[in-house]
Amino acid sequence: MNYLRNAWELVADFLAYLAEKESEEATQELLDIPGFIESFERGKKDIAKVV
């Protein structure tokens, strides 16, 4: 039984790693878009004015 628990923990850790890696890659894709950061900051300011 201990072996199965360790195997499931390994699977869970690997899936968490994949999710984190995918998230980092998606973030980098956005940051690579020219002007994205400026546009994002402008959008945050616009939303702050409304809220």
Kindly write down the DSSP assignment for every residue of 18-40, as one continuous string.
HHHHHHHHHHHHHHTSTTHHHHH
**Rounded distance between C-alpha atoms, residue 17 and residue 20, angstroms:** 5
Number of Cβ within a 10 Å radius of residue 19:
10
1 vs 16 pLDDT, higher one: 16
Mean pLDDT in residue range 10-37: 94
pTM: 0.60
* Residue extents of the structural domains in the chain: 2-50
28 vs 3 pLDDT, higher one: 28
**pLDDT tens column, 25-50:** 999 999 999 999 999 999 999 999 88
Six-digit token string for 39: 């546009």
pLDDT at position 26, please? 93
pLDDT exceeds 80 at position 51: no
Cα dist from 2 to 10, 11, 18, whole Å: 12, 14, 24
